[in-house]
């Protein structure tokens, strides 16, 4: 059984917070549902515990996930980042899946460029999950904010995400979505128009 993999975890919210900060992320897309809690001990890396449930394939990966900030560019009106992300853990069958458990790992790269009006993000990842299979994915996300929200305002973004999962029945899919952002809370609601599935992402930073 080949995996049809992966989520857009890092593109949703910055995968590294401020020093001493915790972030909780929930994501649900056309293939999986993910919960991630990460802590940032340094400006250049974070460490998280992640559980990703592949609903149709009846297994989940529980992993320890480090993220490293490879490069950050600052400007008066923009910020851009390149991150390396990996994870090691255990893949386990769910819902009576008889395949048991096995070691799993993944590695990927995340890049984003953002102003107060425009967003561009890219994420690629490869996963190896033993007898559950392996697979790769990549996605691009573009966003536009109809107005520039100030501090503590409600920020609204119109976004579209295009993902490429070679092993999937529909290798390329498109998800228009809305991003709502206020203070430490981010909520995204979208719908995949190729493989009709809702996208629901939530991030809370504390």
Partner 1 sequence: MNTITSFLIPLLLLAASTAAWGQHEHEHQHEHQHEHKQTHAATDATAVTGENISFTDRLTATPEIEAALANGGNAVVADVLGVVCDFCAVAMNKVFGKQEEVAAVYVDLDTKALNLVFMPGATLTDEAIASLAVQAGYRIAAVHRSDAVVTH
Q: Which residues bind partner 1 (CB under 8 A)?
A: 13-14, 16-21, 43, 72, 74-79, 114-116, 146-156, 158, 176-178, 180-184, 186, 189-191, 193, 196, 198, 205
Nearer to partner 1 by C-beta: 72 or 138? 72
- Least distance in angstroms from the C-beta of 203 to partner 1: 8
- Least distance in angstroms from the C-beta of 191 to partner 1: 4
- What SS3 class is residue 29? coil
Nearer to partner 1 by C-beta: 4 or 16? 16
Range list of β-strands (E), the chain: 22-28, 32-42, 45-54, 59-74, 79-93, 101-114, 118-128, 134-144, 155-164, 172-182, 185-192, 197-205
Residue 7 contacts residue 27 (beta carbons within 8 Å): yes
- Least distance in angstroms from the C-beta of 200 to partner 1: 12
Nearer to partner 1 by C-beta: 42 or 95? 42
Rounded Cα gap, residues 138 and 130, in angstroms: 21
Q: Which residue has the tokens 């149709």?
A: 56
Nearer to partner 1 by C-beta: 92 or 123? 123
């Amino acid at each position: 059984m080949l995996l049809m993999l992966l989520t857009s975890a890092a593109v949703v919210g910055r995968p590294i917070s401020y020093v001493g900060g915790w972030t909780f992320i929930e994501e649900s897309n056309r293939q999986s549902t993910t919960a991630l809690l990460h802590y940032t001990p340094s400006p250049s890396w974070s460490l998280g515990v992640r559980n990703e449930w592949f609903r149709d394939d009846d297994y989940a990966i529980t992993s320890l996930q480090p993220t490293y900030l490879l490069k950050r560019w600052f400007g008066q009106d923009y910020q851009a980042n390149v991150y390396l992300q990996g994870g090691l853990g255990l893949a386990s069958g769910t819902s009576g899946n008889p395949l048991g458990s096995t070691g799993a790992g993944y590695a990927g790269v995340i890049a984003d460029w953002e102003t107060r009006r425009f967003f561009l993000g890219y994420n690629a990842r490869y996963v190896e999950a033993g007898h559950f299979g392996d697979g790769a994915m990549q996605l691009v996300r573009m966003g536009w904010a109809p107005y520039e929200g100030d501090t503590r305002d409600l920020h609204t973004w119109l976004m579209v995400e295009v993902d490429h999962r070679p092993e999937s029945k529909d290798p390329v899919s498109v998800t228009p979505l809305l991003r709502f952002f206020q203070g430490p809370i981010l909520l995204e609601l979208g719908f995949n128009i190729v493989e009709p599935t809702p996208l629901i992402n939530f991030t809370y930073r504390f």
